[in-house]
Amino acid sequence: MATTLVIFGASGDLTSRKLVPALYQLFRKKRLPEKTQVVGFSRTKFSDEDWQHELAESTAKFVGDDFDAELWRQFASMIHYQPGDIKEPEDFEALHRRLHELEESSDVTRVYYLSTAPRFYKPAIERIGACGLADEVNGPRRIVIEKPFGRDAESAHDLNEAVHGVFKERQVYRIDHYLGKETVQNMLVLRFANTIFEPVWNRNYIDHVQITVAEEVTVGRRGEFYDQTGVLRDMFQNHLLQLLMTTAMEAPVRFEAEAVRDEKVKVLRAISPLLPEAVASDTLRGQYRGYLDTPGVAEGSQTATFAAVKLAVDNWRWQGVPFYLRSGKAMSCRTTQIVIQFRNPPTMVFSNGSVDTCQANRLVIQIQPAEGIQLHFQTKVPDQGMRLRLTDLDFDFNREFSGVMPEAYERLLLDAFQGDASLFARSDEVELAWGIIDPILSAWESTSDPPLDMYEPELWGPERAVEWMHAQGRQWFDTCPVLS
Ligand code: BG6
């Protein structure tokens, strides 16, 4: 069956930076379904050739050495452009006609990709519905929706209603690109294709879990967007909670969309949203120095660019095990990691009895950029009596499978073409995730507790974050990964 991908918001940054490079890579690896066509739709008045020309330059830049001019020429012949405005019904009619022309009435899987500004999601969906583009007349119709999916639980619910007015849930693919990362999928493999971790993956052995998504970059040119968004909406509601779900979920009966998503949703249901008093004690917020000088940022803005949040997953497996989530811009280095900090041995027989949690076993799952896994354990230092030192077993994806780490969007696009929604968020999942974030956002808006701490760029966030962990007898694992 033929496949057509229609990208709304085609002239935007995401299309040139991520989507088209991912499609080109799939083409290069011969993974695109037969008879694939890509149709861009946005207001810029491009011809097919103009758009192909622009994309050639950006793709060459983003895929680096994998760019091959001859291969690009073959790939570019699949790329078309239809100028149009989401607000204009007749532009959708024209798009409909163009699709018919290109598809020559063969059976076709058609995937609509919403890569526009979020305020256009609802009108675009309604127009798609109104002109019959969602009707599954000669093959499946699917819609991929980029993040952010709403600004809070209520707007996410409204958007879900609009989506369900036109598409059935099985046709909807809500993207969180973190789920397309190989190392995030590998978390499921690590847990559920091995037997040695599962027996200790619970409150009996684990002291706490730390999930860090640190970015070295600042807000850069996205000042206006970011200032209205902040770190909780930008990173926590989606990426960090996805990592938490992957770490905490039970084994699904099989690796299938509904089974996987049912288990993830159970984790969210087990997290009680924080009450205002708990927001004051269990969250931290910060803003890097220099943020206020960013173009587009409001004067005196109180938007947080750093946050740390302590959540409890109240179920049998995780009762009493805190999950510390932290993310920030302008941090020491770029690293996304999940740290499983195990408990201390009950007594320390090899020294004068002092037991330090930070020295207990630790499993570090490096999601990026130094993709890998390290298991830390105590070892006897040779020839020094019974002196011990923490050492590690180190698995490095790059060393083991050199050069095959694909971009997240390759996997996600392919899954959307093939109708596998396992790595996409379901409607209840996004609403429940907002239900965890909303109370923090509203407490932050209405009180000054916790205060907004300033932090110096290139550190690990505000000093208070360090003290906060120490006060709980714990310590952040602040290590920049070593790239091999
Ligand atoms: C996006 C956020 O969803 O994820 C950005 O909007 C952030 O602010 C980005 O920089 C991080 O993605 P990655 O894949 O680079 O970790």
Domains of the chain: 2-146 (3.40.50.720), 179-406+426-471 (3.30.360.10)
Share of the chain above pLDDT 70, in %: 98
- pLDDT for residue 484: 72
Tokens coding 449 = 């507790």
- Tell me the CA–centroid distance for residue 188 and ligand 1, in Å: 22
- Residue 28 backbone zone (phi > 0: left; psi -120 to 50: alpha; other: beta): alpha
- pLDDT for residue 482: 82
Nearest atom in ligand 1 to 178's CA:
14
Residue 435 has pLDDT above 70, yes or no: yes
Cis peptide before 450 (omega within 30 of 0): yes
Between 320 and 354, name the one with better pLDDT: 320
The protein residue whose alpha carbon is closest to atom 2 in ligand 1 is 234
The protein residue whose alpha carbon is closest to atom 14 in ligand 1 is 178
Mean of pLDDT over the chain? 95
Residue 353 has pLDDT above 80, yes or no: no
- Tell me the CA–centroid distance for residue 239 and ligand 1, in Å: 8
- Tell me the CA–centroid distance for residue 225 and ligand 1, in Å: 13
The protein residue whose alpha carbon is closest to atom 9 in ligand 1 is 235
Residue 115 has pLDDT above 80, yes or no: yes
Task: Determine the Cα–Cα distance for residues 396 and 483; give it in Å rounded to an integer.
Answer: 9
- pLDDT for residue 354: 53
- Count CB neighbours of 379 within 10 A: 12
- pLDDT for residue 105: 77
Nearest atom in ligand 1 to 234's CA:
6
Average pLDDT on 435-447 reads: 97
Q: What is the pTM of this model?
A: 0.96
The protein residue whose alpha carbon is closest to atom 4 in ligand 1 is 235
- Count CB neighbours of 147 within 10 A: 18
- Three-state secondary structure along 420-453? CCCCCECHHHHHHHHHHHHHHHHHHHHCCCCCEE
Task: Determine the Cα–Cα distance for residues 365 and 482; give it in Å rounded to an integer.
Answer: 13
Average pLDDT on 137-157 reads: 97
- pLDDT for residue 60: 97
Query: Which residues are the active-site residues?
Result: 239
Within 6 A (CB) of ligand 1 lie 147, 215, 234, 336
Nearest atom in ligand 1 to 219's CA:
8
Query: Residue ranges of the alpha helices (H) in 272-425?
Result: 276-282, 397-400, 408-418
For 195-225, how does the pLDDT look when each residue is reduced to its tens digit (9 = 90+)?
Answer: 999 999 999 999 999 999 999 999 999 999 9
Residue 358 has pLDDT above 70, yes or no: no
Task: Determine the Cα–Cα distance for residues 200 and 181; give it in Å rounded to an integer.
Answer: 25
Nearest atom in ligand 1 to 147's CA:
3
- Tell me the CA–centroid distance for residue 216 and ligand 1, in Å: 11
- Tell me the CA–centroid distance for residue 258 and ligand 1, in Å: 26
